[in-house]
Structure 1
Amino acid sequence: MSKKFIFVIIVWVVWHLSIGAMPVERNAFARLFDNARLYSETCPAEKVFLQFDNTSYYQGDSIWIKAYVVDVSKDSLSQISRPLYIELLDQLGNVVDRRIVKLSNGEGTCCIPLSNAFFTGYFEVRAFTKWMLGFNNSCFSKVILVYNKRKNLQEPRTIASYGLDNSMNKRPIEKVPSLLMRFFPEGGQLVKGIPSMVAFETESKDSGLVDIKGMLCDENGKAMTPITSLHNGIGSFMYCPGDKLSYVQVEYKGKEYQFFQPMAVDSGYVMHVDNRDSVLELSVCRRSTIQNEPIALFVFSKSVPLLYHELYFKDNNSISLHINTKGLSAGVCHVLLVNSTGKVICDRPCFIYSSKRVNSLISTDKSIYKPYEKITCKLKFTDEDNKPIRNARLSMSVRNDILSDYKEYDNDVATEFALTSELRGYVESPHYYLIDKNVNRRRQLDNLLLVRAVGKYDYSSIYSSNNLPKYKPEDRLELTGQVKSLFGKLQKNLNTSFVLRKDSNYYAGMITTDSTGSFKVPIDNLEGVAETFIQTKKDGKQNNRWANVLLSRNFAPTLRSFDFQETHPVWDNILINKKSIMAVDSVYNKSLADNAIILDDVVVLGKKKLNVNNFTKIFNRNLIGYYDVRRFIDNERDEGREIMDVPDLLEKLNDNIHVNISYYSDADTSAYNSNHSDAITYRNMPITFYVNGQKVGFLFIKNDVDKIKSLCLYKDNTGNNDDVYNISGNNMTRKQQTDYWSGIELNNEHDINSINDVVICSITTDEDWDAERKNGRTRGIRHTFVQGYSAPVEFHSPQYEPEKINASDKRRTLYWNPNLCTDNNGEVTVDLYNSSNTSSVLIDAVLYDKNEFYNVGYDSYSRYLFHEDK
């Protein structure tokens, strides 16, 4: 045997003996760290940020969006997912629109027209990849305000109030008492006899988060420490718990309230962190714990493990140590106290400030612009060494200053990826916490983290090596699903053919289901929505097979409740000198008057127009529900639940609708009067049916559920009203009732049912619907609509020639370009034109360069400039 081989054996034996001599617990932390690192590498999380062209909208506007998706583990634009799902939901939680954006290197664009936004109010835009939903139901979410249409600028901005019933109330509502105070001990727990910092958050029912002053009292009511919130209802105080509960006493609106502290445990650990410029100063204290219990500190950044350090108390009850932050990623990190089984004992979030900055110089050729006037914007970006940032990607919005809503310190790409995406709930004006690094601001940010960042991640799943996300990443768009029999049995080896019709083009193919009855069809080249027919047939059989085709496309985040501040926004005045703008506007209007041609006096005779706003308000109050039938039926069938006919649909949509089957099962469909007034009722009130604005008996629409696009229910309390509401997109009109068959205008003299009409069911169908044609289900064929990628749309920026201006331009977003790029000097120059209102302009831009995001904003009048780092 060679000496070299003997030496290798000796080294191998000594090395394994040394490992065996180590305490088992020391190896446990190494395994936990390896599992967490493996999890972060194999399951890298994604985050989304959406940049909008504006902050609020009107019915009929379009929402222009630039999407950024990042890979958290690499801190760069993501290459994981290709489809990005963007949904627009109304205030109640109904999906108004859904778009699928095709990502390229983590970027994509989208346009959502509000032409079908039936409701106004507080809409939610949320964005997610399918991969994201496997991680704590995470997604990007933002509430935007959609106003009613205005006839002119003098008309006040409004949103509608609706008299909807409980069938439309889907979004959860968090009930808050008159005043509520929540306590958050640093690290997560209080231990008797150990001083701890306790953060708190105070919320009221009628004002949201409120600042308070109060007193910490012991169990006997003796005053101990005065407390006060530092910012937006959040603050902190030091507290040493004893055997009995202490409480905080505060006064709010003339009433006194008492809030008791959380119960302290008899034994355990308390962790305290001081966040300095380049170091985290930690102290860990214990009381009555198991002697020499194995404990370690783990540091995570955005669910990615960075380091771990084992703690040895020996005979001491406290340990102090420092962690250098120079190697940590900018943003929120979590310092965890963990035992050998992976259980998190303490969780302490901290914020790491970025050392990188961008210098931005933005200018416009004027401060105030007259209507239709040309505007030139110049942007220049340099790094911390004043070198130009070349070939950096830029998305940019320019909007009318006077007509736009503005909120100072609002959320942006920098605060989203570094801060707000790491927190629970809504954060009002998050950039406020990153304006500077003074002591007071640091403390406010630290309190925010203690209140909102704890519990963001499920570290038990990260430490477990076999706990994988629910969904797999999507590198292309696919139509996936399963085929089951009518009794729920999986149909394997079943021929499944697909025919997609988009405009006048047809796409066809066939696939055989696998052993689980599943199939996948790539549709990565599909744009828009295609009408689809899915046929199921057993090999060798002549007839189609009766089967249910269940499509896997109903994944989405759960509905969340709205925060008070989200539905009660306070817009800021950004130093606009309105007197100066009015003066410019006055001079401009005078110049137009001087050049005007004076016509002879004429008298114009005409009918007085109906007050559209009044009957729209009446309709809103009487509205029972508005339903996207096509989406609802598709969702039901994707889950294996069938919709048989219109009465079945109505009962599933609204629990208050009752169908008396005996009245219509054997009725003579050839006669109009075969419909009984109480065959279908809403809370014992008869329902009358209108299809595309014309009156029909429900028997003629009974089996045509696949042809219905949407329907609304509303009360008609006038009793003998000859008009019917006509709904098209977000437009509301009234017109004379007509009979579907004869086209004759209806009135109370010849329409026997009009006097009893109380509830109207107004149905909108496909254009090719025909009451005399069979529109029912076909054996073995699933009819549906498949959504592909949203087709890119170009923003229209008109160019005006002063001598040829003859336009009414009400644009509030004057310019939108999601795909700009800086030149070799780090500059971008943009020319655009003002709309028909004198104003200054607001510029909002997102810059991406070398894995770093920056947000810049500018107001052309006040020269107010701010910039934000990641």
Structure 2
Amino acid sequence: MKNKRFLFLLSVFGLMTMTTDGENPPAKTVFAQYMKQAQTFADNFPREKAYLHFDNTSYYVGDTIWFKAYVTLAEKQMFSQISRPLYVELVDQTGHIADKQIIKLTQGEGNGQLVLPQSMLSGYYEVRAYTRWMLAFNEPQYFSRTFPIYQLSNSDKLERSITTYELNPSMENRPLETKEKLSVRFFPEGGQLVEGVTSQVAFKAESKNEGNIELSGTIYTKGGTAITSFETLHDGMGCFEYTPSAQPAVAKVDFQGKKYEFTLPQALPNGYVLSTVNNAGALLVKVSCNTATPQDTLAVFISHQGRPYVHQLISCRADAPQEFILPTRKLPAGVLQVSLINRAGNTLCERFVFANPRAPLQLSAEGLKEVYAPYAPIRCELQVRNAKGEPISGDVSVSIRDGIRSDYLEYDNNIFTDLLLTSDLKGYIHQPGYYFASPSPQKQMELDILLMVHGWRKYDISQAISTAPFIPLQLPEAQLVLNGQVKSTILKNKLKDIALSVIVKKDDQFITGGTVTDENGRFTIPVEDFEGTTEAVIQTRKVGKERNKDASILIDRNFSPAPRAYGYKELHPEWKDLTHWQQKAENFDSLYMDSIRKVEGLYVLDEVEIKSKRRQGSNMATKINEKSIDAYYDVRRSVDLLRDNGKIVTTIPELMEKLSPQFDWNRSNNELTYRQKPICYIMDNHILSETETQMMLTEVDGLASIIISKGTGGIDDDIIQNTKISEVSDSTGVDISQLDKYSVFYLVPLPRRDVLNKSQSAALGTRQTVIQGYTRALEYYSPAYPTRELYMDKVDKRRTLYWNPSVRTDANGKARIECYNNQYSTPLIIQAETMSKDGQIGSMTFETNGVD
């Protein structure tokens, strides 16, 4: 669909009211009209999905996260042409955005990287990706993946160390998944229980300290009579059959020596129960009710990604439940939404089911060895075929990584599981590939339970058939622009016909431009041709007059989704035990060392040094340490966010008042405290004097970040030594002998900003900011060792040995890949993913360990 037509439809489209010949049209006519309206809605508001393929599964501080982006139409699994910019964010454990990149999509594809600076904190970071159009609906959809980012290790041991920080609670933006020691939640099939109607009830058992747990228990009536027993089947989830009465039943369990009771949901006195059986390529749908339910004609709609494909009229009685069978081969693959709708267009019950896809593309790799020697060449041939065995030409994203030094999770997420399953479910899904490995009736049951527990109404059919017009929360972006609005600083009135001059610094040159606000005070600045981040100054003035000081420049760029809760397994990953892989590598090392000792001229190599480069032991546990950091703030991002919303921020005290409740500014004596302690300011590795402090407090536009520390560990000995004793006594006002009486503020200036000698504050009526353009995709560097004996003393600890977001297969569906190993003996893990132009997807994760 062309973007111009799409935008036109967005501006004028409103779902028509239903026309009928009488006041009470036949149910068949009502639901046929709903079907038509929902189809029209799906035609005019197609949704998008994003998936990122990464080069690795975990990273260290100082690494680079490489990724390939696939942006598709949610309904058809075809590359989307709706959006050009894709926003990729790195979100820290507290829920704050640590980095943000904008990827320029070409026909739905793009690639980029997130560089992890060595100054960042270790932790569990979320990478999420979305287009603006993905956030246009009431329930936003975006890609999300969590990675451990470990501290740097100076040894060759596999030290996976993450520091936990006892941060100020005000730092926490990310909600918690569960706060209870034991939580058992119940999910009636279809969404509700009805008195006297037998239902399937799914449940999920979680522990605060263990995550999903195995559990069993018994369901009792309110009076204490046992009804049925229950137990988990997989990943803390299970289900049981239950016929509710007016008084809700009670589930009783024993957990870690204690008894717990949980009350089941209250049953409705009348209503409907929706149930499904999905098996052998057929979907059985059943609707039941009790004798107190008024008789009515309803309809079951079966939809995929918001588009209804089938609807069936239902008129059930207590003594005559209604059911029908539908072959799933006639339906699209992936998550299907089964909705029970009444004549008023209200959704009464809802259930997710899964339709298995046709055979995906087949990816294979040939020519690989079981273990590779240090610096050895790696050569393989990648083959892509369709289900008929026919070769497929196209682009494949490929990662080859060190099998021992990279974390490995069986049944991990991939393009198949994400686009077809997890992107339509709520919450973190652990090892989604498990549900598709070795298909069986047991796996089908477990997948059904997963859909009952994690299913949610992402596609609201009631909205699609409503008579009210749909107003998107965001508009699609065919190109990258900066939208904004000018309002008066005091009265907050919209200022029309205000001229804006824009000065942008790019490549040591200044580019100027201008625009004028419309009748609503809005303006647009095109940035499609910009790359990276660019310093900019925007100045306002009334046309024909001097600069307008009474003006606030608001920029519309803060549309990131709210942080989600982490699943327990995301913070406690259970990587595969690779001890047997390591043993094979060590055995290979012995043979390898014997072989190179026989080669003339290689005795000069230091055998001890070579051994020190190999992995010594396996330390798979995360070490937990504590530091003195209490809070940290991205000043540039925080200031821009506040100013984008019309808040005036010109000094550090003004900023800190808005960011932290622990910060206090006593305006009567201008005293500043944090946690009721005076503040010691540090910058450039020394304690600031009182003069420097007063100067810095007004330089909010020159700072990159503020890190707040507590305790005596907050100040390094080097800082004390760099601070002259005379300065301490005469000008800083800080008693170094009693540092525990202070809160320590580390002030980090922006690059190339001499904040102590030049004012960076913005004048009224102007706006200093950073304009972000597209991220330039870098090329992954893979070193070559054509004569490996010459490189035996070269340090090469790469865990990702090869990354290419676009490997092109030829007419025979083949592509040859060549790279070199690092300094260790290791097996390999190869992951390749692809999506063809006609929507066929394929994914392969191949382990060389076990290759004959």
Normalising by structure 1, we get a TM-score of: 0.88
Q: How many Å separate the matches in 2 of 1:683 and 1:312? A: 65
Q: How many Å separate the matches in 2 of 1:224 and 1:552? A: 57
Q: How many Å separate the matches in 2 of 1:721 and 1:179? A: 42
Q: Give the alignment partner of residue 680 of structure 1, picking from 672, 681, 693.
A: 672
Q: How many Å separate the matches in 1 of 2:24 and 2:548? A: 68
Distance 1:116 1:460, change over 3 A: farther
- Number of the residue aligned with 1:833: 820
Is 1:858 the counterpart of 2:846? The answer is yes
- Number of the residue aligned with 2:215: 212
Taking only the aligned residue pairs, the percentage that are identical comes to: 34
Aligned ranges 1:348-387 → 2 under 5 Å: 348-387=351-390
Contact 2:362 2:843 in 1 (8 A): no
Aligned ranges 1:326-345 → 2 under 5 Å: 326-345=329-348
- Number of the residue aligned with 2:639: 633
Q: How many Å separate the matches in 2 of 1:204 and 1:526? A: 48
Aligned ranges 1:374-453 → 2 under 5 Å: 374-389=377-392, 391-453=393-455
Contact 1:528 1:790 in 2 (8 A): yes
- Number of the residue aligned with 1:518: 522
Q: How many Å separate the matches in 1 of 2:197 and 2:43? A: 38
Q: How much has 1:22 moved relative to structure 2?
A: 8.4
Q: How much has 1:722 moved relative to structure 2?
A: 5.0
Distance 1:456 1:720, change over 3 A: closer
- Number of the residue aligned with 1:602: none
- 3-state SS of paired residue (2:656): helix
- Number of the residue aligned with 1:133: 135
Q: How many Å separate the matches in 2 of 1:542 and 1:284? A: 71
Distance 1:18 1:429, change over 3 A: closer
Distance 1:786 1:32, change over 3 A: same
- 3-state SS of paired residue (1:375): strand
Q: How much has 1:765 moved relative to structure 2?
A: 1.4
Contact 1:198 1:237 in 2 (8 A): yes
Q: How much has 1:336 moved relative to structure 2?
A: 1.1
- Number of the residue aligned with 2:248: 245
- 3-state SS of paired residue (1:687): strand
Distance 1:116 1:461, change over 3 A: farther
Q: How much has 1:694 moved relative to structure 2?
A: 3.3
Distance 1:163 1:280, change over 3 A: closer
- 3-state SS of paired residue (1:347): strand
1:544-583 Cα deviation digits (max 9, x unpaired): 4431100000111011111111111100136843322102
Contact 1:495 1:536 in 2 (8 A): yes
Is 1:802 the counterpart of 2:788? The answer is yes
Q: How many Å separate the matches in 1 of 2:318 and 2:95? A: 57
Unaligned runs of 5+ in 1: 1-16, 600-615, 665-678, 725-734, 865-870
- Number of the residue aligned with 1:621: 627
- Number of the residue aligned with 1:597: 604
**Bigger mean CA deviation after superposition, 499-508 or 38-47:** 499-508
Q: How many Å separate the matches in 1 of 2:534 and 2:486? A: 21
Q: How many Å separate the matches in 2 of 1:354 and 1:763? A: 54
- Number of residue pairs aligned between Structure 1 and Structure 2: 803
- Number of the residue aligned with 2:698: 703
1:763-809 Cα deviation digits (max 9, x unpaired): 12132324243332224221100100001100001101224214200
**Bigger mean CA deviation after superposition, 803-812 or 122-131:** 803-812
1:151-190 Cα deviation digits (max 9, x unpaired): 0122632111223222322211233322221111111122
Q: How many Å separate the matches in 2 of 1:65 and 1:83? A: 15
Q: How much has 1:117 moved relative to structure 2?
A: 5.6
Q: How much has 1:528 moved relative to structure 2?
A: 0.3
**Bigger mean CA deviation after superposition, 754-763 or 54-63:** 754-763
Distance 1:809 1:32, change over 3 A: same
Q: How many Å separate the matches in 2 of 1:271 and 1:556? A: 36
1:657-713 Cα deviation digits (max 9, x unpaired): 22344555xxxxxxxxxxxxxx32223322122232233221121221111111212
Q: How much has 1:233 moved relative to structure 2?
A: 1.1
Q: How much has 1:539 moved relative to structure 2?
A: 1.0
**Bigger mean CA deviation after superposition, 299-308 or 690-699:** 690-699
Is 1:169 the counterpart of 2:172? The answer is yes
AA matched with 2:696: I
- 3-state SS of paired residue (1:55): coil
Aligned ranges 1:145-544 → 2 under 5 Å: 145-154=148-157, 156-288=159-291, 292-313=295-316, 317-389=320-392, 391-465=393-467, 466-487=469-490, 488-544=492-548
AA matched with 1:259: F
Q: How many Å separate the matches in 2 of 1:73 and 1:65? A: 24
Contact 1:137 1:558 in 2 (8 A): no
Is 1:73 the counterpart of 2:75? The answer is yes
Contact 1:424 1:456 in 2 (8 A): no
- Number of the residue aligned with 1:52: 54
- Number of the residue aligned with 2:744: 760
Q: How many Å separate the matches in 2 of 1:750 and 1:537? A: 43
1:842-870 Cα deviation digits (max 9, x unpaired): 00010212202111010112249xxxxxx
Contact 1:576 1:861 in 2 (8 A): no
- Number of the residue aligned with 2:648: 642
- Number of the residue aligned with 1:690: 682
- 3-state SS of paired residue (1:851): coil
AA matched with 1:788: G
Normalising by structure 2, we get a TM-score of: 0.90
AA matched with 1:642: I
Distance 1:359 1:708, change over 3 A: closer
- Number of the residue aligned with 1:784: 769
Q: Give the alignment partner of residue 793 of structure 1, picking from 747, 769, 778.
A: 778
Contact 2:287 2:316 in 1 (8 A): no
Contact 1:331 1:418 in 2 (8 A): yes
Q: How many Å separate the matches in 1 of 2:631 and 2:816? A: 49
Q: How many Å separate the matches in 2 of 1:598 and 1:50? A: 43
- 3-state SS of paired residue (1:582): helix
**Bigger mean CA deviation after superposition, 262-271 or 821-830:** 262-271
Contact 1:96 1:116 in 2 (8 A): no
AA matched with 2:226: A
- 3-state SS of paired residue (2:412): coil
AA matched with 1:755: S
**Bigger mean CA deviation after superposition, 494-503 or 782-791:** 494-503
- 3-state SS of paired residue (1:76): coil
Distance 1:495 1:804, change over 3 A: same
- Number of the residue aligned with 2:588: 584
1:20-79 Cα deviation digits (max 9, x unpaired): 598343322122222211211111111111111000000000000111111123331111
Contact 1:64 1:112 in 2 (8 A): yes
Larger radius of gyration: 1
Contact 1:369 1:838 in 2 (8 A): yes
Distance 1:129 1:643, change over 3 A: same
- Number of the residue aligned with 2:830: 843
Distance 1:313 1:517, change over 3 A: same
AA matched with 1:566: E
Contact 2:369 2:851 in 1 (8 A): no
Q: How much has 1:592 moved relative to structure 2?
A: 6.1
- Number of the residue aligned with 1:613: none
1:320-374 Cα deviation digits (max 9, x unpaired): 2111212211011011111011111111211100122333332243211111100
Distance 1:761 1:259, change over 3 A: closer
Unaligned runs of 5+ in 2: 1-18, 607-622
1:348-404 Cα deviation digits (max 9, x unpaired): 211100122333332243211111100012221222222212x22200000000101
Q: How many Å separate the matches in 1 of 2:555 and 2:525? A: 11
Distance 1:368 1:271, change over 3 A: same
- 3-state SS of paired residue (1:621): coil
- Number of the residue aligned with 2:90: 88
